[in-house]
Amino acid sequence: MNIPARDRLIVALDLPEAAAARTLVQRIGAAAGFYKIGMELCMAPGFFELLEWLRGQGKQVFVDLKFFDIPETVGRAVRALSERGAQFCTVHGNQAIMQAAAQAKTHGLKVLAVTALTSLDRGDLDDLGFQCDVEALVLSRARRALQAGCDGVVSSGLEVAKLRAEAPRELIVVTPGIRPVDNRAESDQKRVMTPSRALQAGADYLVVGRPIRDAADPCAAAEAIQAEIASAVRSEE
């Protein structure tokens, strides 16, 4: 998949207000061109205005709302979002829900199926009633997403290598839980990975939040990750 190296970084705007998100984007400047906006911002005023502002700034947008409802409702939601100019959206449901989302997308919107949240581990799956390990669940969800017509999946970097061994290369893999260093002790995400390792495993896009958001210089933090991405991409060529 021919993706420009600098487009592989997706900065998560996990902030409580649209104004704060705009400020962060402005501080990052040209160091990132792809942003994720999700549930927290959706609960604040100005969510769609922020999406339109990002598009007006020439940025790509990943709307991460993990649509989960009856298939008809999900389909209508995806169809409406398609008109907003976003590049990616997420769906988190069964086969019928994923199919409805895939069939409703237009205007180049790509639908990504969530496999297993990076905050979940084996104990959490037991609590949810899944009688399988995380890797098996991710692979099963990826197979079903492909069958449903989704464009890709959201997967922890820890499962990407196995997923890549089984899935066609056209499948887009977006990997959250990315940390420039191994600081999982400070993270609410249990399955994390560095940018280089995730790309080497086969991830296409990397979602990075707090290592950029909470940095003293978000632009410098983003550029450092971009440099690591560029190095990893060159080593694969």
pLDDT digits (tens, 9 = 90+) for 6-54: 999 999 999 999 999 999 999 999 999 999 999 999 999 999 999 999 9
Question: Rounded to whole angstroms, how far apart are CA atoms 159 and 127?
Answer: 21
Model pLDDT, residue 168: 80
Domain ranges for the chain: 5-236
Instruction: Taking residues 156-161, report their average pLDDT.
Output: 84
Strands of 83-194, DSSP E: 88-91, 110-114, 152-154, 172-175
Length of the chain as a residue count = 237
What tokens appear for 83 in the block?
A: 């008109």
* pTM, to two decimals: 0.89
Catalytic residue, candidates 36, 59, 66, 190: 66
Active site residue 66: yes
Summarised one tens digit per residue, pLDDT across range 67-89 is 999 999 999 999 999 999 999 99
Contact 89, 109 (CB under 8 A): yes
Cα angle, residue 35 at apex, residues 201 and 19 outer, rounded to 5°: 150
Summarised one tens digit per residue, pLDDT across range 169-202 is 889 999 998 988 644 444 545 546 899 999 999 9
What tokens appear for 153 in the block?
A: 């999946």
More confident residue, 150 or 162: 150
More confident residue, 1 or 122: 1
- Assigned superfamily of 5-236: Aldolase class I (3.20.20.70)
Is the predicted pLDDT of residue 123 greater than 70, yes or no? no
